[in-house]
A and B are shown apart, each in its own frame.
Chain A
Amino acid sequence: MNHDHEYTPSNGFTKWLDKRLPLIRFADENMLSFPTPKNLNYFWTFGFILTLCLVTQIITGIVLAMHYTPHVLMAFDSIEHIMRDVNYGWLIRYIHANGASMFFLAVFIHMFRGLYYGSYKEPREILWILGVVIFLLMIITAFMGYVLVWGQMSFWGATVITNLVATIPVVGESILTLLLGGFSVDNPTLNRFFSLHYLLPFVIFGVVILHIWALHVTGNNNPTGISVKDSNDTISFHPYYTVKDLFAYVVFLLMFSYFIFYNPNILGHPDNYIEADPMVTPAHIVPEWYLLPFYAILRAVPDKLMGVLLMFGSIVVLFFLPWLDTMKVRSARYRPTYKIFYFTFLVCCLLLGYLGGQAPEGIYLFLSRVCTIYYFAFFLVVMPILSKYERPSPMPIGISNPAINNNLEMDDNLVPSGNN
């Protein structure tokens, strides 16, 4: 990146501080004058939105933990206590519960943006992998948080998901017992889930710092996917993107507020307002909406172990994306064939989400199977083949130069000039 601006401490104190702990310099280089491609669209605001989602969850979570009791006899009642007795408890809990949904909504958009514009490609492989790590941690954290409510869906969701571990040959049962601290989901399970649900967001926070660090080494991708060449291609992060990000966040908050204030339970399941009963299984066990696509994959497979492997595989495959799609052209904007497969994939994921909430029989089961096959085929078949045979459409020379690049040496166009 071209640094056409360097931080100069302005007064005695900042000069003194800069020599000892260059905090302001760090903030200036990474947040204020950070050179950012000038053509980023609103899909690029979700990184900022996600950071604030995490902060919101941590703050509301810490407050909720002050009023919650992690014991099987009191957990459910303490949630009702928060809802009815604690001052603004209802607000804080609804922010936290719907905040999780908003967090996942934002992360899905963020990931699909990366998938469309090729943000996982060289040199951003580590950046992408850290993102997948964050996504995995988010799933684990959200799952444990949902169990804390200790409603019927909490209990039976926990039973079904922890039982996935028992499918591991030979040692599965022992690991399951170790995980639960008993022979079924019970008080020891609730206690440790509470402890881990408190811990993991801070782990996520740590990985987010690494994620942003990696981003600031390579710099942002952009809608053209063409690497930044010089300072003509960039503008400083502040004020241009601080304002754009904040505006997007305000719009995001409007939608978030609709759920908090007008429809706070629409994304949850009514059965979770029934206290957990280890002796009665609800008729339909469904996870939260953001896990439905993975649940649909699990149920699409008639074999227990294979179902579990495919469900985990659907996330693990994301780690290998940079090496499955080796096409040098990053952005789908210049990949007409990829674009078709991409949108089919998007529809397939949404459909899996719908199917995950339906009973696993008849046409639903059939469609789940078709979508599961396409899900994996997209990564394992379509991507490698397109990388080899797809002919990209004409591309401009650079972010600031719309003239068509007739030089087919694409590499030249895509290799980052960051260290020049």
Chain B
Amino acid sequence: MTDTIDKNDPTRRDFLYITTAVFGATGAATVAWPLIHQLNPDASVSALSSVEADISSIPEGGSLKVAWRGKPVFIRRRTKEEINIAEKEDAENLPHPEKDEERVKNKEWLVVVGVCTHLGCIPIADKGDFGGWFCPCHGSHYDISGRIRKGPAPTNLEVPPYEFVNENIIRIG
């Protein structure tokens, strides 16, 4: 070939630079991923993500606290009155609007993760202005459906995945 070389044209050297850089970057990312992913929950942690609880001994108005994924889960057997209040308050102007029926599988049983959605403290039962829970850390009030009513928490108490295995057993997770 006799034509002159235009300086702006890509050369074989440019190709080599780019190829090398791409290979280098891919290699770095390949090595980086295991180093990052090892920080995620390991197999032994993930294996513990289901727990069963015996609820036969909980009286009406009583509750049980079980550990699931290292966090407490509140299982509360609500009284008729409490259910009525929770449903009546569906109409209130809630910070995080959810109907009581959306939050339970069986009206009598409220199952929520007992971790304040603000910064992760454990709310105290039967305290606060709304008959449910009160978080002592930064003052969030939850009602008897576990819904945030007052304070800095942005959302309602989380409802974990659960099912009634039989009359006496709930499986969480």
Contacts and interface: CB of A to CB of B under 8 A. Distances in A.
Asked if A pairs with B, the answer is: yes
Interface of A: 156, 159-160, 162-164, 177-179, 181-186, 188, 192, 278-285, 299, 301-305, 307, 359-361
**Residue of B36, B72, B135, B137 ringed by the most chain A CB atoms within 10 A:** B137
Contacts of B41: 177, 181-183, 188
B65 interface: yes
Nearest to A302: B152
B120 A163 contact: yes
A302 B70 CA distance: 28
Nearest to B114: A279
B154 A304 contact: yes
Contact of B69 (A164, A183, A359): A183
A314 to B, nearest CB: 17
Nearest to A167: B154
Main secondary structure of the interface of B (DSSP, over half): loop
A326 to B, nearest CB: 37
B70 A182 contact: yes
Contacts of A281: 121-122, 124, 135-137
B67 interface: yes
Given A156-B137, A304-B118, 10 more contacts: A159-B119, A159-B121, A163-B120, A181-B42, A183-B49, A183-B69, A188-B41, A278-B67, A304-B153, A360-B138
Contacts of B49: 183
Contacts of B45: 181-183, 186, 188
B76 to A, nearest CB: 16
Interface string B29-48: 00000001001111001000
B131 interface: no
Contacts of B71: 183-184, 278
A178 B40 contact: yes
16 contacts: A156-B121, A159-B120, A160-B120, A163-B119, A178-B36, A184-B115, A188-B41, A278-B70, A278-B71, A280-B122, A281-B122, A281-B135, A285-B121, A299-B138, A304-B119, A307-B152
Contact of A160 (B69, B70, B72, B137): B137
Interface string B133-159: 001111100000000000011100000
Contacts of A305: 154
